[in-house]
Structure 1
Amino acid sequence: MTAVHWKALLCASASVLVLPSAALAQTTGAAPEPEAPASGPTGLEDVIVTAQRREQRLQDVPVAVTAFGVRELERRQITDVRALTENAPSITFTATPYGNNDLILAIRGVAPGGVLPNVDQAVGTYVDGLYYARPEGSNFALVDVASAEVLRGPQGTLFGRNTIGGALNITTNKPNYEFGGSLKVGYGNYDALSATAIVNLPLVEDKLAARLVYGHVEHSGYGRNPTLGSDVADQNDDFVRASVRADIAPELRVDLSFDHYWGSNHQPLWVLNSYQAGLSPAMYAPYVAEPGSRISQAGINPVNDSRVYDFNGTITAELPFGVLKSISAYRNVYFEGATDLDGTPLPTADTREFVLDGEQVSQELQLSGASLSDRLNWTVGAYYFHEQVRNTPLTRIPAAIQDNTIRPDNKSVSVFAQASYEILPSLRFTAGVRAVKDTRGMTYTPARYVVTGYPTNAEPPASAITPGPCPFTAMGLNEAPGSCLYTPDDISFETVPFTVGLDYRLPGDGLLYAKYSKGFRTGGFQQASGTTAAFFTPFNEESVGSYEIGAKLALFENRLRFSASSFFSTFDDIQQNAILQTSPVVIAVLNSGTAEIYGAEFEATALLGDLRLHGSLGLIEPKFTDGPYKGSEVPTVAKTTWSVSADYPVQFNAGRLDLHLDYNWRSDVYFLNTVSITAAGPVDLSEFQRKSIRQDAYGLLNAQVSWTFDARPITVALYGKNLTDEYFAARSGSFAASNFNSIVVGSPRTYGMSVSYAF
């Protein structure tokens, strides 16, 4: 039995061990499955969310949330997390160097600096309560999902785990007690093939049921490397989920699930797009891409492999005074790949190998209830998390090979409580607090090699590669003479995220709210690229304090639903990636001063007869107010985002035709800082350099037409994404200071058809 299987068994055992104690508290009341209340035959359907860790109507939650149900996810062709973020305001996504298996998210101008395991994310991703500590595998297919929620602003009180920008809260469909399922297959350009199969199996009447899900997505490359004769930016992903629901007693329910994602994809389409004759190094001139090019000149085209295993055991018990929930989880992530960041045959900074092998275990207990004649709603809980990771980036530059292996060991323990009290009719006061202790451990085992006589694009033979000196020896830090080892003392961070707020229910169906939330992202250790002891100084936690006011209104017999929020955030001790040295490359995380972020968001949905219209707008104005980046652009922020969509069903004698159209737009984005940190101090990038790390404003047009037969549960759909074939960058390289740069080219126009059958 493998280590993965052993830990899965332990995780399941932890869930089962809670059963006896929960069973002792059995009562006669049942814990029904939450259902969305009907809003009337002509109004918009109600949306149920769990933004406050319990089921509530979206209109009743004093939080800025964009929520998507099953039908909305289908209409907008939201099949992965990236598509989800394109349909909500104030969110910016950035591709990673290694493909579409993960991505970097920023909400309201708050973003992480990268994807290495020594830095945590700023936006937490949760699936059925399981927190994804690493972004690898986070851009999974949203297969058989009941709802997806985008929570904006700090969410540290109830969600914890580094959610200073916000959180993605995804809930999957659970087994039920009716036999059924569906099959869906699709085909499109770029040889795109997709297949989804779902079956729900009632095993014991009203007691035990299972649900099996399988999804497959593949397409040929969105680009081509003619020199190597291979596709670039292709996809070949599979996903499986198996879940079981057991209603052991009317008031005791157990949900167990396992899912596995695996994918093998060539690297993204990197092209050298920024080059200035007379200023950029002449050796890059032959490899400059033509405008709109999807041809890769990279010297390597590696396949990136991902394997992710998730195990989750959730127990829900209704007690006389509240509902107890236990969430036991285990996650295993393995990623092995490489990337040619400059998009040329030259070994400027080729990551020849990037391995991330990690596992996490977590246990959460929640107890929630209502008291004082339901005037007081409360939630209390405790959380434990432990993560161990091995990360090996092996980088080739002309005369050297760097192996920057690190082994982070991260722990977090917290307790939390939040309560809402109706102090006057329709007026509620909410307060929440979380006490967190994060402990960080680190083991450095870097290795250095010298490459002799092969400075260009030639692959050096083994005889040309000789061991270089351990960087820790000269620093006096090497703990293993003859090898290379440094294990600094553990560091700890104690933080207290909290929230306070007031909300007032308007006559009819409306809500006004005001709140203040404070969130933290933990500090940690540096990467292993430093050349002096000073480069290994740990970085501290950062914090975001956010003031927010908002309104949610339902008008015209619930045919118009409108929400608005406005916020002001202070961002302190900002963690920023800085390139402190270029040869060899030294990247460090610095606490780089403060920033202020102003913003507003608007969303509206309207029914005009059978026509359903939706629109959203996000406005952000961030600025560095102190530190080395003062006066420069804040990276990974689109200051304006907006989207519109329309849905119109037409009923015929033989079936129903559903028409959908949506368009989402975002303003300019700087992928990196517009200031370089040098030994002499901050240096502003030139206009050419700034342009090389900027993506100009663009919009994406998508459409879908589907036909559902009345006589058979069959739906045929035609779809198109990025119909105007916009050419845009999803990420920038980090070579701006050297007067050239590269980008990852985003997805082109895609189209196709699908057929689905429900049974």
Structure 2
Amino acid sequence: MRGIHAFKAFVHLSAGLTGLAAAAFATPAAAQAGAAEADSTSVGEIIVSARRREETLRETPVAITAVNAQALEAKASVNIGDIMGAAPSVMITQQNSGAAAANVAIRGLSFADVDKSFDPTVAVVVDGVFIGSSTGQFFDFFDISQIEVLRGPQGTLFGRNTIGGVINIRRTKPKFEFSGKLEASYGSYDTWATRAVVNLPVVDGVLAIKPFYFHNQSDGYYRQGITGARTGGSNSENFGVAALLQPSSNFDALLTVEKQVQDFVPVNSNISKTGEVFCLIEPANECNRNTTTDLYTVFGTPGTSHYESPAVTLEMNLDAGPVKLTSVTGYRKSDEAQTQDFDGSSADIYFSARTQAYRQFSQELRAAGKLSSSFDYVVGGYYFNSRYTLQQRTRITLFAPPSIAEQDNIGHSRSLAFFGDFNWAFADKWRLSFGGRWTQDRKQNQARVDANSFPNASVTNSKFTPKIGIDFRPNSDLMLYASWSRGYRSGGFSGRGTTLFSATTPYGPETVDSYEAGFKGALFDNLLELNIAAFLADYKNLQQNTTIPAVGGVGSETIVTNVGSARLKGLEIEFTAHPAQGLTLSGSLGLLDNDLKNFISQGAISATVPGTRTIDYSNVSMIYAPKTTLSLNANYKLPTSFGEVVMNVGYRHISPYDQQIALDATATYPATGTIVIPRNDPRVRSDTQDLLDASLTTRVKLGDQTAKITVFGRNLLDDRGPNAAFTVAGLWSFSSAREPRTYGVILGFEF
């Protein structure tokens, strides 16, 4: 019902916007003013690189949302999580079990895990470099030129592990003029931030450098239930320098050297309840708590986390006349050390210490050009190599005497790919797009658990992922398109496997076939931009965390296996309207339906019930797949004698969604036969989110410089609830909380 009401609200709003646009069109003076405003900010004229070639958003036959720096600044956006709501069917939440880690889902496709042995389903690409782990993906937005959110499989041009889509982030390039921007902010929970970017011309027109530095710290919005002190705080630094070399008109090279450092306090909110083993040991007031407001009070021992990640990126472009050559080289390293009280209670039951080292290297070579006025191409090759080590020590005091479980893993991944993407304008106003990518992946895993050392295991997968589409453009303002594409996510090993079977037996690759049809158009003399996309995705051999009997060991363990299939379908609508001078209205609606099939697993139904059973999860919902995502945004610019005033109000509605596929181990099940699970454990289901944000910015022109002050409020309705939740085989359950209402002020200076 909420989805229906949201859809009706969207229809009424769209009708109202159409009426406003029509009224403006009918009034010549107003139409001219509105058109002038639309011409300067037209969404369709934004240049995107979604298909590894420069083209306008309106002529790109892909479901894509482009967010530029001005839009991010107007909304007082802080990090990648603020994209949630800016694009339909996109979910981004922060993982508190890893540094700068993000759970990203597009169109219901996600894999929420920080373990380095697993690949993401949505690729986060920064300056052309794919980040191979969810750690480090929670990106700062201060120095951003543009963000492109590509929905649906992007296997042809962006490769494996993009079956859900791609978030393509481009940072600003160094400028050949002395300029920059400085910013300082203060907000709720003693949150401080300072940011600076400076452009320095070294050799006029030839070499420019851009040093940058970001700092953000906060006391955290959790309250320690025993001491009453604030907890969950963090301190983040991101600094580096970018150098742009342009020795000639046909060659440029951009080198970025940077480092990210984060220290934070990981906390878990206890959501265990009667029937789970840990509640027999924990104080009574720490069990059976609610999954909304109670999440902000925690009882566990504060953990510590330190994360360092240096990175180097080099992009080179050579315009050789008929062909443009591009090379993108990326190297990223990270070292993490984290302790965490996973039971989330004042009783010392389950405390973990993890040390991880990760490094990745990637190299992409592309050639782009035209064979004729009607045929263009992009072809290339890609190489990716990563390696990680994990040392985990877990203190378990559930039974006497206490024990220390030890686990060591070494993992290695290598990927090689060749790809091509082609456009053929085969008839007037008609264009055929087609291409494909061949990928070969090899993964290795070597594990030691306590005194048991398991042999090195390896697996090789290869896949060809094609794409074909057609579009029709009756004029420069309208386009209709349809496409079919196949996405592929490589198989591998469960890095947390604790037995010979689970540590050496690989899970297989998963694939998705996606069918999409869409419309893009500029209506009413560019007063209204409207994009509509409908899709159907068939998802096969799902990789899912499942609890299975510990073959050759004791009890059960949670590892990744291939289970069943799924079908997802949905409708996405985006609009941007300019009904009056200075006023921009925008919004999006995503409607999503998912259907799991043949999701059969073997596992224990409770830690207190011996043995394993056949469990059918086919009736539950996929994770991070809300049925409705709705956003509405109004931005108004008012010119003044001293500069301008910018007002921005945004509303986001997200219907409930599940955060884990899990049975309720405290429920009662039949003694024999297959157990059919009607729904996931209610504690891992989020509540409805209605998020209201607002900001007011005053800009003052000081000659060639600009000073600004922004006051902002986020989550003004103080909508509280879970950010992530997990239940562990009838032993205990834990969660984390999303950001409550916050206020702040930003002071900035541009020169």
Would you call these one fold, judging by a TM-score over 0.5? yes
Paired position in structure 2 for 1:440: 443
Paired position in structure 1 for 2:650: 662
Paired position in structure 1 for 2:636: 648
Q: Work out whether residues 226 and 295 of structure 1, in 8 Å CA contact, stay in contact via their aligned partners in 2.
A: no
Separation in 1 of the partners of 2:746 and 2:539? 46
CA gap 1:417/1:277 in 2 versus in 1, 3 angstroms: closer
Question: CA deviation digits over 1:525-572, x for unaligned, max 9?
Answer: 123443453664210000011000001010111110000000000000
Secondary structure at the residue paired with 2:72?
Answer: helix
User: Which blocks of at least 5 consecutive residues in structure 2 are unaligned?
Assistant: 1-33, 601-616
Q: Work out whether residues 469 and 482 of structure 2, in 8 Å CA contact, stay in contact via their aligned partners in 1.
A: yes
Paired position in structure 2 for 1:271: 269
Paired position in structure 1 for 2:211: 212
Paired position in structure 2 for 1:320: 321
Shift of residue 277, structure 1, vs aligned partner: 7.6
Alignment of 1:538 with 2:538, yes or no, is: no
Shift of residue 111, structure 1, vs aligned partner: 1.0
Secondary structure at the residue paired with 1:734?
Answer: strand
Paired position in structure 1 for 2:355: 355
Alignment of 1:293-308 (within 5 A): 293=294, 296-308=297-309
Alignment of 1:468-547 (within 5 A): 470=451, 472=452, 484-488=453-457, 490-531=458-499, 533=501, 536-547=504-515
Shift of residue 626, structure 1, vs aligned partner: 2.1
Separation in 1 of the partners of 2:513 and 2:35? 36
Which residue of 712, 717, 726 maps to 1:719?
A: 712
Alignment of 1:417 with 2:420, yes or no, is: yes
Shift of residue 107, structure 1, vs aligned partner: 0.8
Paired position in structure 1 for 2:748: 756
Alignment of 1:613 with 2:585, yes or no, is: yes
Paired position in structure 2 for 1:455: none
Question: CA deviation digits over 1:665-701, x for unaligned, max 9?
Answer: 11111111144899988645587x7211111211211
Shift of residue 402, structure 1, vs aligned partner: 2.0
CA gap 1:612/1:747 in 2 versus in 1, 3 angstroms: same
Shift of residue 98, structure 1, vs aligned partner: 2.0
Question: CA deviation digits over 1:113-147, x for unaligned, max 9?
Answer: 52212211000110111110011111021231100
Separation in 2 of the partners of 1:676 and 1:364? 46
Secondary structure at the residue paired with 2:100?
Answer: strand
Task: Tell me the TM-score normalized by structure 2.
Answer: 0.87
Q: Work out whether residues 136 and 335 of structure 1, in 8 Å CA contact, stay in contact via their aligned partners in 2.
A: no
Alignment of 1:44-83 (within 5 A): 44-45=41-42, 46-83=45-82
Paired position in structure 1 for 2:281: 283
CA gap 1:249/1:355 in 2 versus in 1, 3 angstroms: same
Separation in 1 of the partners of 2:233 and 2:212? 23
Shift of residue 503, structure 1, vs aligned partner: 0.7
Q: Work out whether residues 326 and 366 of structure 1, in 8 Å CA contact, stay in contact via their aligned partners in 2.
A: yes
With 172-181 and 223-232 compared, the bigger mean Cα shift is at: 223-232
CA gap 1:439/1:656 in 2 versus in 1, 3 angstroms: same
Secondary structure at the residue paired with 2:118?
Answer: coil
Paired position in structure 1 for 2:538: 570
Shift of residue 756, structure 1, vs aligned partner: 0.7
With 123-132 and 231-240 compared, the bigger mean Cα shift is at: 231-240
Paired position in structure 1 for 2:102: 103
Q: Work out whether residues 272 and 733 of structure 2, in 8 Å CA contact, stay in contact via their aligned partners in 1.
A: yes
Task: Tell me the TM-score normalized by structure 1.
Answer: 0.86
Paired position in structure 2 for 1:475: none
Q: Work out whether residues 369 and 379 of structure 1, in 8 Å CA contact, stay in contact via their aligned partners in 2.
A: yes
Separation in 2 of the partners of 1:627 and 1:333? 35
Alignment of 1:393 with 2:388, yes or no, is: no
Question: CA deviation digits over 1:594-623, x for unaligned, max 9?
Answer: 111011110000001122100100111011
Secondary structure at the residue paired with 2:293?
Answer: coil
Code of the residue aligned with 1:370 in structure 2: it is K
Separation in 1 of the partners of 2:120 and 2:215? 27
Question: CA deviation digits over 1:190-211, x for unaligned, max 9?
Answer: 1111111111011111111111
Q: Work out whether residues 272 and 278 of structure 2, in 8 Å CA contact, stay in contact via their aligned partners in 1.
A: no
Question: CA deviation digits over 1:449-508, x for unaligned, max 9?
Answer: xxxxxxxxxxxxxxxxxxxxx3x4xxxxxxxxxxx34212x2100011111000111224
Paired position in structure 2 for 1:337: 338
Q: RMSD of the alignment, in Å?
A: 2.4
May I ask how many residue pairs the two structures share in their alignment? 682
CA gap 1:704/1:585 in 2 versus in 1, 3 angstroms: farther
Question: CA deviation digits over 1:147-181, x for unaligned, max 9?
Answer: 01111000010000310000110001001211111
Paired position in structure 2 for 1:366: 366
Identity of aligned residues (%): 27
Shift of residue 274, structure 1, vs aligned partner: 5.0
Q: Work out whether residues 666 and 697 of structure 1, in 8 Å CA contact, stay in contact via their aligned partners in 2.
A: yes
Secondary structure at the residue paired with 1:533?
Answer: helix
Shift of residue 94, structure 1, vs aligned partner: 3.9
Secondary structure at the residue paired with 1:224?
Answer: strand
Q: Work out whether residues 411 and 439 of structure 1, in 8 Å CA contact, stay in contact via their aligned partners in 2.
A: yes
Code of the residue aligned with 1:114 in structure 2: it is D
Paired position in structure 1 for 2:725: 732
Which residue of 586, 594, 598 maps to 2:557?
A: 586
Which residue of 389, 406, 409 maps to 2:409?
A: 406
With 393-402 and 137-146 compared, the bigger mean Cα shift is at: 393-402
With 86-95 and 506-515 compared, the bigger mean Cα shift is at: 86-95
Secondary structure at the residue paired with 1:496?
Answer: strand
With 714-723 and 40-49 compared, the bigger mean Cα shift is at: 40-49
Question: CA deviation digits over 1:85-131, x for unaligned, max 9?
Answer: 34211112343242561111111111115221221100011011111
Alignment of 1:231-250 (within 5 A): 231-250=230-249
Paired position in structure 1 for 2:689: 698
CA gap 1:347/1:376 in 2 versus in 1, 3 angstroms: farther
With 305-314 and 226-235 compared, the bigger mean Cα shift is at: 226-235
Secondary structure at the residue paired with 1:708?
Answer: strand
Secondary structure at the residue paired with 1:405?
Answer: strand
Separation in 2 of the partners of 1:442 and 1:724? 47
Alignment of 1:152 with 2:120, yes or no, is: no
Q: Work out whether residues 194 and 217 of structure 1, in 8 Å CA contact, stay in contact via their aligned partners in 2.
A: yes
Shift of residue 740, structure 1, vs aligned partner: 5.5
Separation in 2 of the partners of 1:532 and 1:387? 24
Q: Work out whether residues 530 and 536 of structure 1, in 8 Å CA contact, stay in contact via their aligned partners in 2.
A: no
Code of the residue aligned with 2:449 in structure 1: it is P
Secondary structure at the residue paired with 1:692?
Answer: helix
CA gap 1:371/1:680 in 2 versus in 1, 3 angstroms: farther
CA gap 1:553/1:642 in 2 versus in 1, 3 angstroms: same
Paired position in structure 1 for 2:608: none
Separation in 2 of the partners of 1:141 and 1:526? 30
Separation in 1 of the partners of 2:454 and 2:696? 60
User: Which blocks of at least 5 consecutive residues in structure 1 are unaligned?
Assistant: 1-37, 448-469, 473-483
Separation in 2 of the partners of 1:77 and 1:66? 18
Paired position in structure 1 for 2:432: 429
Question: CA deviation digits over 1:572-605, x for unaligned, max 9?
Answer: 0000101225975511111001111011110000
Secondary structure at the residue paired with 1:644?
Answer: strand
Secondary structure at the residue paired with 2:727?
Answer: coil
Paired position in structure 2 for 1:3: none
